[in-house]
Amino acid sequence: MFAPRPLALSILGRCPWRCCRRKHSAAAVPLSVREALVAKVDEGAKDVKIQGWVRSVRSQKEVLFLHVNDGSSLESLQIVAEPGLKNSAVSFGSSVEVCGVLVKSPGKKQSAELKAKEIRVIGDCDSQDFPFKIKERHPPEYVRQHPHLRCRTNTFASLLRVRSAATLAIQQFFQSNGYVHIHTPIITSNDCEGAGELFQVEAANRDQKGDGGFFGVPAFLTVSGQLHLEIMSGGFQKAFTFGPTFRAENSQGRRHLAEFYMVEAEISFTESLEDIMQVMENLFKDTTAAILSKCPEDMNFFFKYVSTGQQGSLEKMIKNNFIVMSYTEALEILTRATTSFQHKTEWGCDLQKEHEKYLVKHCGNIPVFVTDYPYDLKPFYARDNEDGPQRTVAAVDLLVPGIGELFGGSLREERLHFLQSRLDRLGLSDTYQWYLDLRRFGSVPHGGFGMGFERYLQCVVGVDNIKDTIPFPRFPYSCLL
Amino acid sequence: MFAPRPLALSILGRCPWRCCRRKHSAAAVPLSVREALVAKVDEGAKDVKIQGWVRSVRSQKEVLFLHVNDGSSLESLQIVAEPGLKNSAVSFGSSVEVCGVLVKSPGKKQSAELKAKEIRVIGDCDSQDFPFKIKERHPPEYVRQHPHLRCRTNTFASLLRVRSAATLAIQQFFQSNGYVHIHTPIITSNDCEGAGELFQVEAANRDQKGDGGFFGVPAFLTVSGQLHLEIMSGGFQKAFTFGPTFRAENSQGRRHLAEFYMVEAEISFTESLEDIMQVMENLFKDTTAAILSKCPEDMNFFFKYVSTGQQGSLEKMIKNNFIVMSYTEALEILTRATTSFQHKTEWGCDLQKEHEKYLVKHCGNIPVFVTDYPYDLKPFYARDNEDGPQRTVAAVDLLVPGIGELFGGSLREERLHFLQSRLDRLGLSDTYQWYLDLRRFGSVPHGGFGMGFERYLQCVVGVDNIKDTIPFPRFPYSCLL
């Protein structure tokens, strides 16, 4: 693999970033802010070049202080300069290149600071027109109205770094555990799961449409990669996908997006829901541990400024074994509750948000697996437990504090005759001949799960609105840029 | 991070996979085929359990040979059993669980084999109905007609393992080099690049459509994440995206898909096209090196059976520095050529497939960067070189053997007045106010590139048709499953 950028400040001539063929002046080595902040300055002063955006300007009689950020870390680099280097264009939001000497900072807040020899403004920024103001904390609703500038705020830049680290951590979790990554299709002719909340896709230009449309059949955006991933369960013992999914749901809520990301996995040769639950728990804990270790500053920023109490809540989730209870047990708990619920709590009813909240609280705010749901509540592919005539299926949801349902999973019905008769009753046998084929040719017991990635981020950083966990949120009446 | 599965065969009781909470019988530790193939059998016989699909059955008087594959590797595990363990359902394509003792193989082909004590058929497979036949090599066109069973063939399973390894390698390349991963949007209201080959998206169900559609504006599937990634160039020095993109192009060719994956990167504070080219070259070489090291068997399979000569060709690409020539130099080469081309070769014309092929061959089949294209050939965002009135732009394409254009990149026009006047002339200024804003508020010189992921896979494994590089190919009149 490509080695991480070396921090060697002493390489002469050749760019130490290894990112370019240019010979930078040996006197001024370009460094990212993150690199500058951790550079060893004890060994003597270093001539470096920093490029970034001005986050603060403080002009005193004798000295000029700047803070410059380039997105490589939450923290900015402090620049110390003679007032003579000040230029009226050096303002909040402008981009600058600063050459100077990296020295040990006398201040306690940072270990290194840059004594500037030269400050060059690359792109100015009219503070009147710029929608974000220096040292102001703008509410998320306001920031969202400027999607093309949103990454210039601390909170959203931190979110994006955490999201990026989580994306890599999820890939590494699965691949290091022997899972094959599959790009399940985005456009699909499979319109089912009975969802109804589908987006349809067609060529915009008439010239591209033939008879019956571009694809010759109605085509939709995927609502889940599961069925396509199950195909892979016939050849790979472990497979996963991590990509966008879509719901044309008329909801403006804090928990819903029209375009969101799902992490889905399928495991073959598994007859136990516990196998699936263990992978879910490991995925949650290992990904969270990776984020905490990779982005400690960003996470602390969320804990301190965005969601107080979140740190303790998250530590509790990580330290404890998740709780397991059956749907039937959950219903008993709800029935015994002194709280009065808006929705009924009879065996057979779906769990509502209020029920989920109660159950999580009842479990001391530790995530709780609810298993073995009524047959009629779950889709056709869930495996019949045979504990009565079509009574329960081997399905599981993971409920977490603040969010409710974060994962959903099940064993899949691998027995041809069970699946065939259920599809017959639903009138779906013709549509799903290919799915039945998977049970005709070397069928294996298997199961899997899906996790909503944005809900996961909400759960981890404690952001209230799911729209603040994704770079470009899409929801009814909104598709900015 | 979650540790890779330990290979410890001796752990008693607790599942050594760490994938489940179950207590497997200490006498039969479940192993993947890959694990079994590399297990140290010198230390004595081990009781293990293998689960997978039968790839071959050979019944002799004294002994029964099976080969079982579970997708964890190209190679299958050889099972040796007494003929009495044979069951008529043990056939090609059926799924089995074999318990037995892992021993050193007397054969030369494999180091370990399994002496079976018990063979249990999990799911049978009617060889009459199963579309793939034992020991037959089916042409890719035939295999493609069975998208739900395609992963059960050696060639496609190898492709999927290589694709999975490449996906991780690309994430790791960028993240270890300080890039932030961004999920650029799939659904966008940005209908431009003048492409015209767009897919439009709308809620399928009328109830979800309000006035003006679900989003209140026409919405399309993205053709590139570049413009959205450029937004991130205003906050992060380095950003990348890797996701699906779409073209409603009426092409059934070997090089085009309606749904394909793009790897795109943007780098800020860069004034040199060479910076961008170096990242392109590093990405190609490091990803390829990662695949070769992670999937040596699968790659050798392609080299041996799918594309002869590919190994040498690929090694040549990796060992040599890529060649750089300007568009003007390329045109001189084409004009001097003794070959007669179908398309004209005058300065200002676009390079056609035949030209690209000739140039790569002329360069000894080493990938070649063609730089500084005529102004009118490239989109509005390409940076004017100012070598004449709107003469050339700082754009680059990378041409590779067998494929032609694999990467496209450019410096982006960061100067407000240049961009504004170009957009004015195109009548696009109103649409792109947000894009102009990026140049108003702390603009920085920046550039980036995009690589077609499926074309990259074609280039590396030597597969002829792009449809054989993606799990579920979408193209005109075809959207299977």
pLDDT at position A11, please? 30
Question: Which of A53, A182, A274 minimises the CB distance to B22?
Answer: A274
Concatenated DSSP letters of B407-473: EEEEEE---HHHHHHHHHHHT-TTTTHHHHHHHHBS---EEEEEEEHHHHHHHHH--S-GGGGSSS-
Question: Which of B3, B70, B168 minimises the CB distance to A175?
Answer: B168
Q: What is the mean pLDDT of residues A272-278?
A: 97
Q: What is the mean pLDDT of residues A113-117?
A: 95
CA A452 to chain B, closest CA, distance in angstroms equals 14
Q: What is the mean pLDDT of residues B390-415?
A: 97
Q: pLDDT band for A184, please (50, 70, 90 cuts).
A: very high
pLDDT at position B1, please? 36
User: Which CA distances in Å does A48 have to A118, B168, B431?
Assistant: 11, 33, 40
Q: Which residues of A touch B167 (CB under 8 A)?
A: 171, 181, 183
> Could you give the angle at which helices B154-176 and A154-176 cross, rounded to 10 degrees?
140
pLDDT at position B13, please? 34
- Collect all residues with Cβ–Cβ distance below 8 Å to A439 and sequence separation of at least 6: A414, A415, A416, A419, B123
In the block, residue with structure tokens 């504006």:
B217
CA–CA dist A67, A62 (Å, integer): 17
Average of per-residue pLDDT values in chain A: 91
Q: pLDDT band for A253, please (50, 70, 90 cuts).
A: confident
CA–CA dist B192, B218 (Å, integer): 12
Q: pLDDT band for B28, please (50, 70, 90 cuts).
A: confident
Share above pLDDT 90 across residues of chain B, in percent, rounded to a whole number:
82
Question: Which of A19, A198, A208 minimises the CB distance to B197?
Answer: A208
| pLDDT at residue A44 greater than cutoff 70 | no
Q: Are B476 and A439 within 8 A, CB to CB?
A: no
- Closest listed residue to residue A450, CA positions, set A264, A300, A268: A264
Domain ranges of chain A: 29-123, 150-468
Q: Are B178 and A472 within 8 A, CB to CB?
A: no
Q: What is the mean pLDDT of residues B10-37?
A: 59
What is the rounded radius of gyration, in angstroms, for the C-alpha atoms of chain B?
Answer: 27
| pLDDT at residue A12 greater than cutoff 60 | no
Its sign, for the CA torsion B84, B88, B91, B95, is negative
Q: pLDDT band for A451, please (50, 70, 90 cuts).
A: very high
Q: What is the mean pLDDT of residues B384-407?
A: 97
Q: Are A19 and B181 within 8 A, CB to CB?
A: no
| pLDDT at residue B3 greater than cutoff 70 | no
Share above pLDDT 70 across residues of chain B, in percent, rounded to a whole number:
92
Question: Which of A4, A189, A234 minimises the CB distance to B152?
Answer: A234
- Closest listed residue to residue B265, CA positions, set B171, B193, B197, B188: B171
Q: Which CATH superfamily is domain B29-123 in?
A: Nucleic acid-binding proteins (2.40.50.140)
| pLDDT at residue B472 greater than cutoff 90 | yes
pLDDT at position A193, please? 56
| Strands, sheet with A368-374, edge to edge from the N-terminal-most edge strand | A180-181, A238-246, A259-268, A446-452, A404-412, A392-400, A368-374, A323-326
How many CB atoms sit inside 10 A of residue B33's CB?
A: 22
How many CB atoms sit inside 10 A of residue B237's CB?
A: 27
| pLDDT at residue B210 greater than cutoff 90 | no
Average of per-residue pLDDT values in chain B: 91
What is the third-level CATH fold of B150-468? BirA Bifunctional Protein; domain 2 (3.30.930)
pLDDT at position A28, please? 83
B278-307 in b/e form (b: 16+ CB < 10 A) is: bbbbebbbbbbebbbebbeebbebbbeebb
Q: Are A1 and B440 within 8 A, CB to CB?
A: no
Tens-digit pLDDT profile for residues A121-140: 999 999 999 999 998 899 99
Q: pLDDT band for A41, please (50, 70, 90 cuts).
A: confident
What is the rounded radius of gyration, in angstroms, for the C-alpha atoms of chain A?
Answer: 27
| pLDDT at residue B41 greater than cutoff 90 | no
CA A439 to chain B, closest CA, distance in angstroms equals 8
Q: Are A175 and B164 within 8 A, CB to CB?
A: yes
| Strands, sheet with B199-203, edge to edge from the N-terminal-most edge strand | A187-188, A219-221, A199-203, B199-203, B219-221, B187-188
Q: Are B148 and A221 within 8 A, CB to CB?
A: no
Q: Are A243 and B244 within 8 A, CB to CB?
A: yes
| Pairing verdict, β A29-31 and A46-59 | parallel
Q: What is the mean pLDDT of residues B204-209?
A: 74
CA A473 to chain B, closest CA, distance in angstroms equals 8
Q: What is the mean pLDDT of residues B367-375?
A: 98
The one-letter amino acid at A206: R
Greatest Cα pair distance, chain A, in angstroms, is 85
Contact yes or no for A79/A117 (Cβ under 8 A): no
Question: Which of B94, B227, B237 minimises the CB distance to A32?
Answer: B237
Tens-digit pLDDT profile for residues A372-384: 999 999 999 999 9
CA B142 to chain A, closest CA, distance in angstroms equals 16
Q: What is the mean pLDDT of residues A324-352?
A: 96
The β-bridge partners of B238 are: B267
Q: Which residues of B touch A443 (CB under 8 A)?
A: 95, 122-123
Its sign, for the CA torsion B421, B426, B427, B430, is negative
What stretch of H or E contains B393?
A: strand B392-400
A423-453 in b/e form (b: 16+ CB < 10 A) is: beeeeebeebebbebbbbbbbbbbbbbbbbb
Q: What is the mean pLDDT of residues B149-169?
A: 97
Q: Are A479 and B216 within 8 A, CB to CB?
A: yes
Q: What is the mean pLDDT of residues A178-187?
A: 98
Q: What is the mean pLDDT of residues B315-338?
A: 97
Its sign, for the CA torsion B344, B348, B350, B355, is positive
Tens-digit pLDDT profile for residues B123-155: 999 999 999 999 889 999 999 999 999 999 999
Q: Are A200 and B196 within 8 A, CB to CB?
A: no
> pTM for this one?
0.93
CA–CA dist A435, A412 (Å, integer): 11
CA A66 to chain B, closest CA, distance in angstroms equals 15
- Minimum mean pLDDT range among A310-314, B9-13, B423-427: B9-13
Tens-digit pLDDT profile for residues B246-266: 999 988 888 899 999 999 999
pLDDT at position B252, please? 81
The one-letter amino acid at B29: V
pLDDT at position A13, please? 34
CA–CA dist B328, B346 (Å, integer): 10
- Residue A196 φ/ψ, nearest 5 degrees: 80, -20
Tens-digit pLDDT profile for residues A159-179: 999 999 999 999 999 999 999
pLDDT at position A39, please? 86
Q: What is the mean pLDDT of residues B288-314?
A: 96
